[in-house]
Amino acid sequence: MKSTDISRRLFLKQTLALSATAVIPSIWTPAKGRTLPTSPFVSANDRVNIAFIGIGNRGGEIAKELYNTGLCNVVALCDVDMGAPHTQEIISMFPDAPRFQDFRKMFDKMADKIDAVTVGVPDHAHFPITIEAMAHGKHVYVEKPMARTFNEVELMMKAEKRFGVVTQMGNQGHSEANYFQFKAWQEAGIIKDVTAITAHMNNPRRWHGWDPKITHFPVAEPIPSTLDWDTWLGVVKHHDYNHDFHLGQWRCWYDFGMGALGDWGAHILDTAHQFLDLGLPTEINPIYLKDHNPFFFPMSSTILFKFPERGTMPAVDVTWYDGLDNIPAVPEGYGVSELDPNIPTVAGGKIQPAKLNPGKEIYTKTLTFKGGSHSSTLSIIPEEKAKEMEPRLPEVPQSPSNHYANFLLACQGKEKTRSPFSVAGPLSQVFCLGVLSQQLGEKLIFDRETKQISNNKLANQMLVGEPPRKGWEEYYKIS
């Protein structure tokens, strides 16, 4: 699918200043006078002193989950809108914790009192906060996907190694039954010779109803008096405030979010990506894009990712479907698409039943598996085959800790995180490549060795992303 002329002109205008190649910048380090701790790990007998960055909606849910483990002390709260209704619950839970609207000021004032942070903010703001925290030697729990551009994720993986901190991406099902079952079944040879995966998210989404034929961004509205809009924008070029950029709405705009793929892909494809060692694709093809436009994600998308042979494992085609009217066909014997109770609430609102609920089908040379999202386990289909295989299925161990406890225990040196940046980074980069194919509406050929797009110069430049806004360049310095 080709972009319209207006799309092409807008993309070119927005990327004129990009570097010609996806050069990996050197890692930013704190200003003179700021020092890193000699040992970032917390004593095994001490609680982790944690600061919550982003305390409304999903950020607030993360904060409560971590606090409920009993493994942390809450030492600071940070949010760009401390006066908003959605931040008041967490503020009331920790009334004595110092409050900040700008994460940089928080680190300037009390970095020595913080062991770890959470990053529960819009996708476009993950990168600078995470880099700043790691450069201060702080452990980081960051929501999925890790960042908004391929190069930001690359830098975050480099920083994880350089600063030696504990990291965890917030795909919480990666510490539950889905993770341990997939691992056990793959190691036992039950899941082998996978050739194709269909993944789908076809539920209603929390998006606005803007006309796909729009020719400009939403008009400016008065900035709420309690909101620090400049810090909310962060590294992204200036946009006038509009309520449809804020709260859950940011997900749908290319400038701020990662669409349904970035939002749900990490909950559906995470275990397959890790245990099948998929890595990065060689081809990304947007087969279907409904209401394609240069501003926000298509209302429905079908994207084909091609992964090559890996060792003894065959090549795999992963096909992603999203949109209410874009339901993939399911294999014979699929059964009922029941609403899985393991799928959690979404920013306070429950997932609604759909024709086909969020999940995946995994096709091997001999078996077909049906799975859901998050912690949902796989089942073999049809039912007759499942009964035949039952005596041969290995025992699946129980999870020793949920995703939040796993992070805090890792900060104490007692466990290793299950979704560190070294694992979650390549998965997030798959989504970044998928988003580029959606945005440009074109098939991309990707070189896994050089990490370059070989058939589209503009797309290759967009791996880096636009130049950061003035005042935010320090996070992207080129070596």
* Per-residue pLDDT, 10: 39
Distance set, CA 348 to CA 61, 91, 344, 402 (Å): 9, 17, 9, 20
Q: What is the pLDDT of residue 209?
A: 80
| DSSP symbols for 259-270 | HHHHHHHHHHSH
Q: Is the pLDDT of residue 1 over 60?
A: no
User: Residue 309: how many CA atoms within 13 Å on its side-chain side?
Assistant: 4
Torsion of CA 236, 323, 275, 312, to 10 degrees: -110
From CA 246, how far away is CA 192, in angstroms rounded? 43
Cα–Cα distance between 479 and 463 in angstroms, integer? 17
pLDDT at residue number 25: 45
With contact defined as beta carbons under 8 Å apart, do 63 and 75 qualify?
Answer: no
Q: What's the mean per-residue pLDDT of the chain?
A: 89
With bands split at pLDDT 50, 70 and 90, how would you rate the model's confidence at 206?
Answer: low
Average pLDDT of span 245-264: 93
What is the tens place of the pLDDT at every residue in 306-351?
Answer: 999 999 999 999 999 999 889 999 998 888 766 566 666 544 444 5
Mean pLDDT of 224-243: 96
Tally of CA atoms within 13 A in the half-sphere of 227 that contains its CB = 18
Structure tokens, 167: 């990291």
Nearest Cα to Cα of residue 102 among 120, 122, 83, 129 = 129
pLDDT at residue 203, as a whole number? 81
The full DSSP string for 386-401 is: HHHHGGGPPPPPPPSS
Task: State the DSSP H helix or E strand holding residue 208, giving kind and residue range, or none if neither.
Answer: none
Cβ partners under 8 Å of residue 180, min gap 6: 396, 397, 398, 399
**Whether pLDDT at 134 is above 80:** yes
Q: Tokens 């989404």 correspond to what residue?
A: 205
Asked if omega into 382 is within 30° of 0 (cis), the reply is yes
**Residue with the two structure tokens 């070294």:** 422
- pLDDT at position 3, please? 41
How does pLDDT run across 386-432, given as a tens digit for each residue? 999 999 999 999 999 999 999 999 999 999 999 999 999 999 999 99
**Each residue's pLDDT tens digit, 25-77:** 455 566 554 445 445 778 777 899 999 999 999 999 999 999 999 999 999 99
Query: Which phi and psi (to 5°) does residue 459 adopt?
Result: -60, -40
Q: How far is CA 479 from the centre of its chain?
A: 27
Inter-residue contact 422 to 416 (CB < 8 Å): no
- At 141, which helix (H) or strand (E)? strand 139-142
SS3 state of residue 312: coil
Q: Measure the CA–CA gap between 355 and 349, rounded to whole angstroms.
A: 19
- Residues 76-94: tens digit of each pLDDT: 999 999 999 999 999 999 9
The pLDDT score that the predictor gives to residue 190 is 98
CA–CA dist 180, 104 (Å, integer): 38
| SS3 call for 248 | helix
* pLDDT tens digits for range 349-373: 445 555 788 999 999 999 999 999 9
Interstrand relation of 283-290 and 194-201 (parallel, antiparallel or unpaired): unpaired
Closest CA to 434 of 159, 201, 118: 201
In 3D space, the residue among 281, 362, 275, 276 whose CA is nearest the CA of residue 314 turns out to be 276
The token pair at 221 is: 């509205």
Using CB atoms within 10 A of its CB, is residue 390 exposed (0-12), middle (13-18) or buried (19+)? exposed
Return the structure tokens found at 97: 């914790």
Q: How far is residue 305 from each of residues 6, 118, 271, 386, 444, measured CA to CA in Å?
A: 27, 31, 16, 28, 10
Look at residue 26 in the predicted model and tell me its pLDDT: 53
- Return the residue matching tokens 């993939």: 328
Q: What does the pLDDT look like over 279-311, one tens digit per residue?
A: 999 999 999 999 999 999 999 999 999 999 999
What residue has token string 């200036």?
238
Average pLDDT over residues 370-379: 95
Output the six-digit token pair for 285.
């093809």
pLDDT given for residue 349 in this prediction? 47
Cα 384 to chain centroid, rounded: 37
Query: Poorest-confidence range of 8-22, 234-248, 287-301?
Result: 8-22
